[in-house]
Amino acid sequence: MAARQLGASCAHVRRGKPRLELADILHARGESYRATHRLSLVQAQAMAAIRVCRTVALGGARYACTQCGFERLVYHSCLNRHCPKCQTLAKERWLEARRAELLPLPYFHVVFTLPHALNPLAQGNPRVIYRLLFQAASETLLEFGANPRWLGGEIGFILVLHTWGQNLNQHLHVHCLVAGGALTPHGFVRAKPGFLFPVKALSKVFRGKYLQALSEARAELRLAGKLAEAGALLSLLAQLKREDWVVYAKRPFAGPQTLLDYLGRYTHRVAIGNHRLLSFDGDMVRFRWRDYAHGNKHKVMALEADEFIRRFLLHVLPKGFMRIRHYGFLANRTKAEKLARCRGLLDAPPPLAAPPETVDAFLLRVLGSERDLCPVCRIGRLHLIGPIARSQPARLHMLPRGPPR
């Protein structure tokens, strides 16, 4: 049988019309956007990486079936953390590590949200604003956990930063996964059934801690526009002090698997996945979104391409900034020792040591298919024919970032 070839931006067989991808929009309008907008280095790198992900630009390998002659071209991934096609393996490996850390406790979900009035400040100072969000949220939770009125010990939790809402506008918040109990010098104290901490009190303490930290960090801030005017920042801080800040807590998860399913949805998510994109005609992008403010309704939003790209780039994180962090008895430095103590106090067996999962086993578990099984005849095996050379050098750090100043 004559060899059949798969045009190969992905590692699985697609049927019918190819699905619209973020890369398609950046291919069509990315260069013109960059020519008229000043980007940070990480934004320029993210755009370039997403455009070439799983294409011949990054090279790859050619495989052929031993039975029917089918050929598959598999191109390398960009591995950029903002790429919607590069998070599945990272997410699954991260979740596997978390499975070994689960305790026989209820786990609570708490969300700390920054007021939208801070969005302009965050656009010019993302590293500072995000760092203080982690700082204020973690200090608030640790303080409540240590209070004898609630638990009186050291709690353990994970914070995950999200900077977007469903419509791609800025919505700065951290999701907190909190184990329902605290490690004390005398033992382990469990949280009350269905209750962790009072939300209104959390909100007030969080607001106070964040505004105090922001005031102390004023020398680090770069101010532009109206915020650069005399007294504007102090006026903003006074306004924010008068407002109620949003903190909410959901019911504890039903069990460990529910917790892991939730973590998988949130930890390695990017601002918008390809599955939400509906159409792009060269000028307008249409995508699905969920309107949480109006009954959680599913809607369709249409944005001009430049506005869509601008909103997406708002959520590119500063270089090296960690968006998932661990605290309390889950803090990395003392995690092994303190988790072992928690298990002993809770009469929980230690996790079974498991060998690292191979790529073949991972694909079989996640995708339900064997990596080297021919997708056409389902009999033959795909074997490597040879490499595919890059079509361009991968020097993303050398990219221009916009018009000259």
Can you say whether residue 368 is alpha, beta or left, with left for phi > 0 and alpha for psi between -120 and 50 degrees? left
Q: CA triplet 185, 186, 189: central angle to 5 degrees?
A: 95
CB 150 within 8 A of CB 144: yes
Q: Record the pTM.
A: 0.88
Could you tell me if 114 and 193 lie in one domain? yes
Could you tell me if 341 and 363 lie in one domain? no
Q: Tokens 């329902």 label which residue?
A: 180
Please check whether residue 367 lies inside any domain of the structure: yes
Q: What is the largest CA-CA distance in the chain?
A: 77
Instruction: Give the number of domains in the chain.
Output: 2
Q: What is the pLDDT of residue 366?
A: 65
Please check whether residue 340 lies inside any domain of the structure: yes
Q: What is the pLDDT of residue 403?
A: 60
Could you tell me if 163 and 75 lie in one domain? no
Q: What is the distance between the alpha carbons of residues 396 and 373, in angstroms, rounded to a whole number?
A: 34
Could you tell me if 62 and 146 lie in one domain? no
pLDDT tens digit at each of 405 positions of the chain = 333 333 333 333 333 445 899 999 999 999 999 999 999 999 999 999 999 999 999 999 999 999 998 999 999 999 999 999 887 777 877 888 888 899 999 999 999 999 999 999 999 999 999 999 999 999 999 999 999 999 999 999 999 999 999 999 999 999 999 999 999 999 999 999 989 999 999 999 999 999 999 999 999 999 988 898 989 999 999 999 999 999 999 888 877 778 777 777 778 889 999 999 999 999 999 999 998 877 789 999 999 999 999 999 999 999 999 999 999 999 999 999 999 999 999 999 988 766 666 767 776 766 666 778 898 999 999 999 999 988 876 555 445 555 644
Could you tell me if 335 and 363 lie in one domain? no
Q: Tokens 């240590």 label which residue?
A: 146
- The CA-atom distances, in angstroms, between 189 and each of 152, 183, 194, 196, 330 are 8, 7, 15, 12, 16
Q: Tokens 């060269």 label which residue?
A: 282
Q: Which domain holds residue 13?
A: 5-83+359-398
Please check whether residue 138 lies inside any domain of the structure: yes
